[in-house]
Amino acid sequence: MRQAGATVESLRRRERGDGTRPPHPLLPLTVRGLGFWAGERWILKDVSFHLPDATRTVILGPNGAGKSVLLRLCHGLLRPGTGTISWGGLTPQNAASGQALVAQRPVLLRRSVKGNILHALKVRHLPRAQRAERVRATLALAGLEHLKDRPARTLSGGEQQRVTLARAWALRPNVLMLDEPTSSLDPGATRGVEELIRAVDAAGTKIIMTTHDISQGRRLANDVLFLHQGRLIEHAPAGEFFAAPSAPAAAQFIRGELPF
């Protein structure tokens, strides 16, 4: 799949006519004073951060920290109780068409792998003439050509997760948000999904993903947002965060000693 990533990168370059990354239309993402209240308590409180670059941002934190809620707010599926979210000056609702969110428990349609991807393209009104080539290129990127005619729901969990990612990537979003993309997968399938995430990143897409898996954070993150009990405890480059986290709760989490 590394090879497939290079293919997409070169395709993108051809589209742009040069080798540079163009300015990213939806960045910076600026979140200020974000709060979300539900069930008579604050699920998120006073969360502020700034993401200027199209790198891989990992939202790390234990179960119940508020990671999924934060992604859903950023994608415009939930409304903030307090604070603001700006995607390069756009509201989440106005920016949503340039983004894709893969939910924590995504559902594939009762169709073939190819049929699932094609359906996503139709729903988002990609012109008919472009659909077949887009499906082909997407299957190639995800290493799924040999499975294209299989009913998607008969695939293994790892394969299904790659199809889900491929289906989201088929829309060529500027930002891809992934909520715990490998939480139910074994180490081999996890690596397969991580390779695909790297390939999508190599094509210039901003990745924002959640995980509670520290090793996955180490493997994938350029920067880490560490959430705990609805608060953003630390935002740091991954190297710094994992080598010497400044917040005690982050250090405890990395050592596997964070009490709930």
- Give the binding site for ligand ATP (CB under 6 A): 38-39, 43, 61, 63-69, 104, 180, 212
Stretch that binds Mg ion, among 17-25, 40-48, 64-72, 186-194 (CB under 5 A): 64-72
6 interacts with, out of ligand ATP, Mg ion, none, CB within 5 to 8 A per kind? none
Which option in ligand ATP, Mg ion, none does residue 20 bind, with CB closer than 5 to 8 A by kind? none
Give 180 or 201: the residue with its C-beta nearer to ligand ATP: 180
Nearer to Mg ion, 99 or 116 (CB): 99
Among 12, 24, 30, smallest CA distance to 54 is for: 24
Q: How far is CA 238 from the centre of its chain?
A: 17
Partner from ligand ATP, Mg ion, none binding residue 65, C-beta < 5-8 Å depending on class: ligand ATP
Q: Are 92 and 74 in contact (CB under 8 A)?
A: yes
Angstrom CA distances, 237 to 46, 134, 171, 173, 216, stand at: 21, 34, 29, 24, 15
Q: What gap in Å lies between CA 20 and CA 36, rounded to an integer?
A: 38
Q: Residue from 7, 30, 55, 68 that binds Mg ion (CB under 5 A)?
A: 68
Residue 229, interface with Mg ion (CB under 5 A)? no
| Interatomic CA distance for residues 236 and 246, integer angstroms | 9
Task: List the structure tokens of 189.
Answer: 């399938």
Beta carbon nearer to Mg ion, 24 or 67: 67
CB of 102 to ligand ATP, least distance (A): 13
Query: What is d(CA 225, CA 228) in angstroms, rounded to the nearest whole number?
Result: 10
Residues within the interface to Mg ion (CB under 5 A)? 67-68
